[in-house]
Amino acid sequence: MKKIVAWKPLPEDVLAYLQQHAQVVQVDAAQHDTFVAALKDADGGIGSSVKITPAMLEGATRLKALSTISVGFDQFDVADLTRRGIVLAHTPDVLTESTADTVFSLILASARRVVELADWVKAGHWQHSIGPAQFGVDVQGKTLGIVGLGRIGGAVARRAALGFNMKVLYTNRSANPQAEAAYGARRVGLAELLATSDFVCLQVPLTAETKHLIGAAELKSMKKSAILINASRGATVDEAALIEALQKGTIHGAGLDVFETEPLPADSPLLKLANVVALPHIGSATHETRHAMARNAAENLVAALDGTLAVNVVNREVLAA
């Protein structure tokens, strides 16, 4: 009987599905030594939100597949997994629309000061008709610059162009003719995107190339009226530089779902800024989508252990080998 280690709680029906195919050992990833010991004789693993290091896999000679319940895979040393012949699967499609919804909630909430003003009402400050002190800025008709036009970026572009009549600029390693035809998206360099966008939206995976992609110089090159939106990975932004830019008014505001350290420390200066909307990494976090992700990751793992996995593979070269 194969053995699977699950380091994230699974919906009951998904756990039952896995148990039809393997012995499933559920571990608390916070109990690090127990987690590592469980991996030693495991054939597969499933979970998310925990860094899986090469050291954790030393001696796990039976391990053939890891399945992350996420689209991002920066929690893994993919080259090391490939060297070990361990296939890594992820869940790229099931979460696209829900995550794009979160991105747009950040755009609207930061532009129209939704969180700040909802708190203002709750605190009893709404004593007279509101005035300029409560005004926000428009979203409709403005320019949205999307850094990284992949699945989620494309879904954001659709919302922007078709839902809010926005002009869409984008950077991407390759052109996206579909988005250009359907949404009027225009591919530009990062410098032009930063200089002309009213909203700069980061949708790149976290890699060595994208770490601190947005730093002090990039923030300074943005319009003073611009708003930075980040629902990708916190470390794509130099958070210290962002804090300074927000404090000094270099940019107008920020809508953030991800941070360099998560959970965001309660004493973070970001939490003291009225021009910041901070969410606890809820990108894909709806009941429906998180269930679909868990099911998708479980199916990926079963297929990987059966040797039939053909989609959702991060390191395809392992399958070739």
Q: Would you name the residues annotated as active-site residues? A: 233, 262, 281
Minimum distance from residue 151 beta carbon to ligand 8YV (Å): 11
Beta bridge partners of 6: 26, 46
Minimum distance from residue 239 beta carbon to ligand 8YV (Å): 17
> Taking CB under 6 A as the rule, does residue 204 contact ligand 8YV?
no
Minimum distance from residue 252 beta carbon to ligand 8YV (Å): 26
> Taking CB under 6 A as the rule, does residue 110 contact ligand 8YV?
no
Q: Which of residues 68 and 143 has its CB atom nearest to ligand 8YV in the complex?
A: 68
Report 22-81 residues binding ligand 8YV (CB under 6 A). 48-49, 69-72
Q: Output the CA torsion 268→272→275→277 (10° steps).
A: 60
Phi-psi region of 28 (alpha: psi -120 to 50; beta: other; left: phi over 0): beta
How many CB atoms neighbour CB 88 within 10 A?
23
Minimum distance from residue 158 beta carbon to ligand 8YV (Å): 19
Measured distance CA(56)–CA(236) in Å, rounded: 26
What phi, psi does 157 have (nearest 5°)?
-60, -40
> Taking CB under 6 A as the rule, does residue 283 contact ligand 8YV?
yes
Q: Which of residues 24 and 161 has its CB atom nearest to ligand 8YV in the complex?
A: 24
Q: Which of residues 275 and 286 has its CB atom nearest to ligand 8YV in the complex?
A: 286
Residue selected from 5, 95, 194, 264 as contacting ligand 8YV according to rule CB under 6 A: 95
> Taking CB under 6 A as the rule, does residue 231 contact ligand 8YV?
no
| Residues 171-180: b if buried by 16+ CB within 10 A, e if exposed | bbeeebeebb
15 and 47 Cβ atoms separated by less than 8 Å: no
Q: Which two tokens stand for residue 189?
A: 């360099």
**Interacting residue ranges for ligand 8YV, rule: CB under 6 A:** 48-49, 69-72, 95, 281, 283-284
